[in-house]
Amino acid sequence: MKQFVINEVEPLDLVFDQPGHHHNVTDKRAMAAVRPLQQQVKEKGLWACHLTPDLGGQGYGQVKLALMNEILGGTNWGPRVFGCQAPDSGNAEILAHFGSEDQKAKYLRPLLQGDITSCYSMTEPQGGSDPRVFETTAIRDGNDWLINGYKWYSSQARWASFTIVMAVTDPTAPVSDRFSMFLVPQGTPGFNIVRNTGLVGESPEDGAHAFIHYDNVRVPAENMLGEEGRAFEVSQVRLGGGRIHHAMRTLGAATKAYEMMKERAVSRHTQGTLLGHKQSTMQYIANTYVELLQFRLLILHAAWTIDQGDKEGGQIGIGSAKIMSPKILRDIIGRAIQLHGSLGISNELPLGQYWIKAAAQGLVDGPTEIHEVKLAKRLLKNVRPVDGLFPSEHIPGRKAAAVEKLRRFLELSEEELA
């Protein structure tokens, strides 16, 4: 798989390299190059492996999926060639769990085949991490729903055959019951992309993250996905294992930067020595190796925990990996850029792109701070408070108990010791 990715997929990254282009299934030239590769992946039994066998996946456990995603992490086109790109992978999971037979036939099947791409539209301009500020509404009108509002950073909307949008259906309900999900097919009147925002460094208005105005978008009642008011249950399905795969792809990108650092260290001379002979470079290399190994083991442990059926442990592992991802990538890419000097920060190496990826990692699927809070709550859930005034590790108290336990030895007479 690794050789295939290096030989066949990496060239796609270099030629079809416009922002988010790996989601543009409407580019006939790019897709002409991609389709035969997807066919080879299918023949090898490696297509859409995150899915269960009934949906055309392989039923691989999370450990194997994690290892596959590590290989895909160094490329943009890799996930599309292997049928596991976000947000399609998560959207497919939602449709498989909550879709009606009709929705599955219309949207899920072509998505699973890789024939189309999709979009997930939740974040609004006034905030992404706090659903209490979401304002987009869907109001029942006879046999239809009318959707109105603005959504921000809806990735891939410009190329998507359908968008899954979250809208308020009962503004008086508690926040957990306030929202429902709807399927909006491409071309629905009123689905207006205000602009396609790009990431830092990308040309303005030609990015992959759409600012959308839902202006009286009318969809039939059967386009509701899941039950009314249950949008959060629907959205949770798409974030499970995907976060592990995302973390492993982050590891793949960070590992690439590490390999670049090592090559640079033994290739570049400055001030009379190889870069790799300078102590600071050695520290960079050694610390990077250790951090990568720690991160890899953390993710694989999380994947293994999920495979053991330990749901709570799995959630703790997923949260830990999610928190570590942006930090690891930022630290390692920062060192790699530094070692490559001006070339490192230029657009002639992939490191600048990875740097933005690191920042994005701290926001996609919710900011790091929120994951930290969630993880801490899980970790504290079953911890019992101490009895008494002092912590259970307080030495005077422990010593008194130890003296009591060992008193008979302390009180042994000289004759008994003789």
Ligand X SMILES: Cc1cc2nc3c(=O)[nH]c(=O)nc-3n(C[C@H](O)[C@H](O)[C@H](O)COP(=O)(O)OP(=O)(O)OC[C@H]3O[C@@H](n4cnc5c(N)ncnc54)[C@H](O)[C@@H]3O)c2cc1C
Stretches 66-74, 310-318, 337-345, 362-370: which one binds ligand X (CB under 6 A)?
362-370
Contact 252, 199 (CB under 8 A): no
Q: Kindly state the smallest distance separating residue 367's Cβ from ligand X, in Å.
A: 3
- Region near ligand X per CB under 6 A, out of 4-12, 284-292, 310-318, 365-373: 365-373
Indicate the residue among 185 and 366 with the shorter CB distance to ligand X.
366
Is the omega angle on the peptide bond into residue 87 within 30 degrees of 0, that is, cis?
Answer: yes
Report if residue 155 touches ligand X, rule: CB under 6 A.
yes
* Closest approach of ligand X to the CB of residue 87, in Å: 5
Q: Does 136 bind ligand X (CB under 6 A)?
A: no
How far is Cα 126 from Cα 296, in angstroms, rounded to an integer? 36
Q: Which stretch binds ligand X (CB under 6 A): 26-34, 38-46, 148-156, 257-265?
A: 148-156
Cβ neighbours of residue 339 under 8 Å, at least 6 residues apart?
A: 261, 264, 265, 268, 275, 281, 284
Nearer to ligand X, 155 or 353 (CB): 155
Among 370, 386, 400, 401, binds ligand X (CB under 6 A): 370
Asked whether position 364 contacts ligand X by CB under 6 A, the answer is yes
Q: What's the closest the beta carbon of residue 213 comes to ligand X, in angstroms? A: 15
Within 13 Å of residue 214, how many CA atoms lie on the same side as its CB?
A: 33
Residues sharing a CB contact under 8 Å with residue 56, sequence separation 6 or more, in sequence order: 47, 48, 112
**Measured from the CB atom, is 274 or 360 closer to ligand X?**
360
Spatial CA neighbour of 337 closest among 264, 276, 415, 277: 264
Nearer to ligand X, 78 or 276 (CB): 78
CB of residue 349 to ligand X, shortest distance in Å:
21
Which two three-digit tokens encode residue 41? 């992946």
Long-range contacts for 50-56 (Cβ within 8 Å, ≥24 apart)? 50/84, 50/89, 50/93, 50/241, 50/242, 50/245, 51/92, 51/93, 51/96, 51/112, 52/96, 55/92, 55/96, 55/108, 55/112, 56/112
Which among 21-29, 108-116, 178-186, 357-365 is the span making contact with ligand X, rule CB under 6 A?
A: 357-365
Q: Interface with ligand X by CB under 6 A: which residues?
A: 87, 120-123, 127-129, 153-155, 209, 360, 363-364, 366-367, 369-370
